[in-house]
Amino acid sequence: DVKVTQSSRYLVKRTGEKVFLECVQDMDHENMFWYRQDPGLGLRLIYFSYDVKMKEKGDIPEGYSVSREKKERFSLILESASTNQTSMYLCASRKGSPYEQYFGPGTRLTVT
Amino acid sequence: GENVEQHPSTLSVQEGDSAVIKCTYSDSASNYFPWYKQELGKGPQLIIDIRSNVGEKKDQRIAVTLNKTAKHFSLHITETQPEDSAVYFCAAWGGTGTASKLTFGTGTRLQVTL
């Protein structure tokens, strides 16, 4: 079974802190994604990557950056956390397109 | 870009009844439409999908229908059970090349009551 793991289930950070969210997949998938999930807004794409060291902006990239140094790992970085970045963050991976995306369990980030 | 609208936002049905969730999309070039189920504390999981060359697909108690002309697709759950209670998301695959991606609806919270 494909497994997508995220470094933390819950995270509390202070405004202005640099935050790293990490995602690892074990199925050699080329494509990886970061979404944020907010009530009433569904899943919105922040960034995605089609290959190592490649990254593409999604629909809401402002305030975020990403890093993909290894195929299995995709990191989301909040350079200076703000309260409006309090949300559930979901990582996903996919073999190619258009195929099933496998999601991690999510990280609930609270910025105070 | 693609825009996906999903209705209703909440749905309550009695156990054994049917549930229908509807989505519309804007990009006529979209060609893949998955449905995801998200249980409490978990990430979304694919439950069924349909491609644009198919009008209907069924898997036991769940089915999806696609009307390409009207640009809408629906999820049908029959004989609902308490374990069907979850948030359901529709999505549409659109765009070209590196810009192609899944766009999700806003979700439907389904509550199956005893």
Record: contact B100-A98, CB cut-off 8 A: yes
From chain A, pick out residues whose CB is under 8 angstroms from the CB of B106: 40-42
Q: Which residues of A touch B (CB under 8 A)?
A: 4, 35, 40-45, 48, 50, 56, 58-59, 90, 92, 97-98, 100-101, 103-106
**CA of B6: which chain A residue's CA is closest?**
A42
Q: With a cut of 80, say whether residue B100 has pLDDT above it.
A: no
At which residue do the structure tokens 């402002």 appear? A62
From chain B, pick out residues whose CB is under 8 angstroms from the CB of A100: 34, 46, 49
Percent of chain B having pLDDT more than 90? 82
Buried b (16+ CB within 10 A) or exposed e, B68-104: beebbbbbbbeebeeebbbbbbbbbbbbeeeebbbbb
CB pairs under 8 A between A and B: 50
Q: Give the HSE-up count for residue A69: Cα atoms under 13 Å, Cβ half-sphere.
A: 3
Average pLDDT over residues B85-93: 96
List the structure tokens of B9.
Answer: 């936002």
From chain A, pick out residues whose CB is under 8 angstroms from the CB of B45: 103
User: Which pLDDT score, from 0 to 100, does residue A100 have?
Assistant: 84
Lowest mean pLDDT: which of A51-55, B14-18, B75-79?
A51-55
Average pLDDT over residues B56-77: 96
- Per-residue model confidence as pLDDT tens digits over A41-83: 999 999 999 889 899 999 999 999 999 999 999 999 999 999 9
User: Which pLDDT score, from 0 to 100, does residue A99 have?
Assistant: 74
Angstrom CA distances, B66 to A51, B4, B29, B80, B108, stand at 32, 14, 14, 21, 18
From chain A, pick out residues whose CB is under 8 angstroms from the CB of B101: 45, 48, 58
User: Which pLDDT score, from 0 to 100, does residue A95 have?
Assistant: 82
Record: contact A103-B98, CB cut-off 8 A: no
The answer to whether B109 faces chain A, any CB pair under 8 Å, is no
User: Which pLDDT score, from 0 to 100, does residue B75 have?
Assistant: 98
Query: Residue B70: left (phi > 0), alpha (psi -120 to 50), or beta?
Result: alpha
The residue among A10, A25, A37 with the most chain B CBs within 10 A of its CB, best to mutate, is: A37
Which of B99, B97, B72, B77 is CA-nearest to residue B88?
Answer: B77
Q: Which of B6, B31, B98 faces A50 most closely, judged by CB atoms?
A: B98
